[in-house]
Structure 1
């Protein structure tokens, strides 16, 4: 449960980190509207990548998909640090384009991890999915709290805004590396995870073979595996969509509402408030 919570947290930690330090980017790129542009870059890459993965999901190695996503999160978080240090915290169109590319990479990583992990955990207990979703929700509060701490720590120092952002993304990079290690070496060896993945394989799933191998479990081969898979008929993507059309519409409405508020409305909220620069 704790591992699922941490993996869920890591799924959005990097992206929330980028959103949370937009006060620094607004200072660094005052003419480029980073609060709006970064999200507009992120969303299409996430959506297109997710659509491709959904279409080919029955043939995709789930373990490689999730490992790729978490690794990309880690590398991208690290690149934010490298880019800032390489440019000495200076703005400019080149640096902003680099940040946009990293934002797009976050979108690609999120499409790999979030859908892959939900699908992976759906083979198991519903408590695992709930823990993962709780981690997703907690990542926003956690990154906001960390940002307040890192900003307050350097508030009175020279170049404090930049120092706080650097420390913040250093923490983010470390956390994403932790998620890579957890998923690669800890999660597949948990007894309950091995049990449910074995059960999924026996019911015809073809995407868990690498996960079972990582957990030290032999999978059925040849005719025996084919006989097992024939017992369970897999629905097509269209059939799955039609059976769950109400959930699909719910998700669509939730995303429209969410994006209308953040970054939509909040990005345009330029009024004066008592908290000042905070």
Structure 2
């Protein structure tokens, strides 16, 4: 690396803990808006009872996320990552604010037109997700694995935090007039503020951390063009010289990367096919009536989110991180026994068994997600790591789309 540039990043390990904390917050912001919409589904179910909002909003969200993510995965090598991520976080902020505006304008009434407005905002969340999740995972894949793990943990933490806040707001407003609506508005006020915080952190703090500048300069020297705007924002003048030993034709194409890592792509796709075929639609609508009453679905969603978060921290323990490609695939496929397990528990089991199953669903989802995302980019250069991160996110979103589509199968024989 050019000696004249060493003074710009004197210690590649300086700022690591701060960077991990920022990654956690940015991961939280990547799904906070969408998780907030999912968590207030009891409010939407009360004002849009005929439209199956738990399932429809997810089904609206996913095509936009998958299509936009596919475009980014195809063109990731030339995308300005800084502009991409800032656009995504700004879209999350604006859309979260619009949810509040829509509810105030319609005075919380139901009907087809307010529901279409909510669907439009759900689609905007999907577009923002494709910007942020793919952009951040691709960017962090060319840095140290701890950053990626922190970002993934932040994704899960958004679900845990929204579930905790939802339980608090339900308890606070349950007996007041319009309690569900007050809780929903408070939710999105907090969400909009948090998304604005993510914009400021990514724009002004993250790119200036010494360790982040080090990894981005290293990636640029390996031929990565996606980091140039962030380097400029951090005060790194000019483009770092490329390593002459790295020839353009030696870099793997996206197709070659996929062929070499088809098992990782299958892993992440199947993890989310299973998870989203059960969560949140089945848990919200098809688990019957129990002693917890209206709290039951909220408790199930909260347990999933908490254990998903726990699962994403387990790989930090070196001896518990699964790195074998064969055993990862075996573990992913074995989760499909949860489908009959949930079916029989919903029909014949009590709420304790359902809570235990839901907890295991979240734990295995979080653990396997981090194991796959941290193992896949290893051994590649910066541009290939960025491409690998974008590929995995595309298959993650595709798995979610397939899962929420299959979730409708639980309605067979139950009518609409």
Query: TM-score, with normalisation over the residues of structure 1?
Result: 0.95
Is the CA contact 2:222–2:243 (under 8 Å) kept in the aligned structure 1? no
> How do 1:231-242 residues align onto structure 2 when only pairs under 5 Å count?
233-242=250-259
- For structure 1, the 5+ residue unaligned runs are none
Q: Distance in 2 between matches of 1:164 and 1:232?
A: 55
Shift of 1:266: 2.5
Q: Which runs of 4+ in 1 moved over 6 A?
A: none
Is the CA contact 1:20–1:147 (under 8 Å) kept in the aligned structure 2? yes
Q: Indicate the residue corresponding to 2:24 in structure 1.
A: 5
Is the CA contact 1:36–1:267 (under 8 Å) kept in the aligned structure 2? no
Q: Does 1:120 align with 2:139?
A: yes
Is the CA contact 1:16–1:139 (under 8 Å) kept in the aligned structure 2? yes
Q: Indicate the residue corresponding to 1:256 in structure 2.
A: 273
Q: How many residues are treated as equivalent by the alignment?
A: 276
Q: Indicate the residue corresponding to 2:234 in structure 1.
A: 215
- Map Cα deviations across residues 51-77 of structure 1 (whole Å, 9 max, x no partner): 111011111110111111111111111
Is the CA contact 2:26–2:154 (under 8 Å) kept in the aligned structure 1? yes
Report the aligned-residue RMSD: 1.6
Is the CA contact 1:203–1:228 (under 8 Å) kept in the aligned structure 2? no
1:147 to 143, 166, 183: 166
Q: Does 1:87 align with 2:109?
A: no
> How do 1:100-249 residues align onto structure 2 when only pairs under 5 Å count?
100-220=119-239, 230=247, 233-249=250-266
Q: Indicate the residue corresponding to 1:31 in structure 2.
A: 50
Distance change (3 Å), C-alpha of 1:162 and 1:105: same
1:22 to 33, 41, 46: 41
> How do 1:33-48 residues align onto structure 2 when only pairs under 5 Å count?
33-48=52-67
Q: Indicate the residue corresponding to 2:292 in structure 1.
A: 275
- Map Cα deviations across residues 208-258 of structure 1 (whole Å, 9 max, x no partner): 11000110001338xx55958637832111101011111001011112101
Q: Distance in 1 between matches of 2:238 and 2:276?
A: 43
Shift of 1:3: 0.4
SS of residue in 2 equivalent to 1:277: helix
Q: Distance in 2 between matches of 1:160 and 1:125?
A: 45
Choose 158-167 or 264-273, whichever is displaced more: 264-273
Q: Indicate the residue corresponding to 2:315 in structure 1.
A: none
Q: Distance in 2 between matches of 1:231 and 1:158?
A: 65
- For structure 2, the 5+ residue unaligned runs are 1-19, 296-416
